[in-house]
Structure 1
Amino acid sequence: MEKNTERALKLFIVLSRAGKVVLEEAHKLIEQNGLNPTEFAVLELLHHKGRQSIQKIGQKILLRSGSMTYVVDKLEKRGLLERVFCTEDKRVTYISITPAGTELIVSIFPDHAANIESLMSELSPAEQDTAIDLLRKLGLSIKDLS
């Protein structure tokens, strides 16, 4: 096998394994608070960015429309968010976080952020900046190919 192919395969495996263990550790805290990672991502987005359309939420957290509706339904039933129908365009539905949703995300987020900081602490700040740049470059180059 060619050296470049071997290196690319090794990078793929290392990146996949690292991503898997980091996500598993990050998700433990979220799940301890009665949310799955997607539900957390929706609440966190709404808390930090405000009201969003269902389509925009799906784009930002990389979730398909049908799955997005399912997650919104679950969170709405729990009273953590609500649908707000657009008066100008009946096809658009906005999602807003409720006070109960805000209370929940505010109670979880500081521990989540500290957990992520701890998980990343093996890398120095400079190494973290380099990793951000390299992974962004990789992701954008692949997005351009598709």
Structure 2
Amino acid sequence: MDQKRNEYLKKKQDPSLKLFVVLSKAYRSVADQVAKDIRSHGLNTTDFGVLELLYHQGEQPLQKIGDKILLASGSITYVVDKLEKKELVKRTPCPNDRRITFASITEEGQQLLNDIFPEHWKQIEAITAGLNEEEKVAAIPLLKKLGMYADDFSGKS
């Protein structure tokens, strides 16, 4: 028993495990607050993610939206259907390939984001105010490096 306890205590002090726990808790806390802000504008995070992608990057093939906002391909149709019914997004068939359909943000969708985004940005600034600007700038490349390594990890093992 003492050996198992010692192994547990050693693992508990491991910075990799500690980083994972702290990173997970921090992400959940920040994401929950951001989601709460988005819901206050009558959207869910998935709807907002699709609108924001189309707003900032323009027309996108439906097949590519899921990859860009981490959404399963089967869910894209459902989300775009909802946004289309609200007249925030429109579909356009590709003239050269019938298998491809594009989604783009409508004027109504652009106006909604124009109205929402300045306040949403302020909320994100308030939510992340636990770090000063210098700390935020320092954290970005470290988290990016960790994420890129984790993305490539399956090829390394």
Give me the TM-score of the superposition, normalised by structure 1. Answer: 0.93
Q: Partner of 2:32 in structure 1?
A: 24
User: 1:84–1:12: structure 2 CA closer, same or farther, 3 Å change rule?
Assistant: same
Q: Which stretches in structure 2 are left out of the alignment for 5+ residues?
A: 1-6
Matched, 1:15 2:5: no
CA shift, 1:3, in A, is 5.3
Distance between the aligned counterparts of 2:40 and 2:129, measured in 1? Answer: 22
Give me the TM-score of the superposition, normalised by structure 2. Answer: 0.87
Distance between the aligned counterparts of 2:66 and 2:45, measured in 1? Answer: 14
Q: Which stretches in structure 1 are left out of the alignment for 5+ residues?
A: none
Q: Partner of 1:35 in structure 2?
A: 43
How do 1:49-128 and structure 2 match up within 5 A? 49-128=57-136
% identical aligned pairs: 50
The answer on whether the counterparts of 2:11 and 2:17 sit within 8 Å (CA) in structure 1 is no
| Matched position secondary structure for 2:87 | coil
Partner residue of 1:46 out of 41, 54, 66: 54
Q: Which runs of 4+ in 1 moved over 6 A?
A: none
| Matched position secondary structure for 2:96 | coil
Number of residue-to-residue matches in the alignment: 146
| Matched position secondary structure for 1:17 | helix
Distance between the aligned counterparts of 1:4 and 1:90, measured in 2? Answer: 55
Deviation digits for residues 7-49 of structure 1, max 9, x if unmatched?
2221111111111111111111210111100100110111111
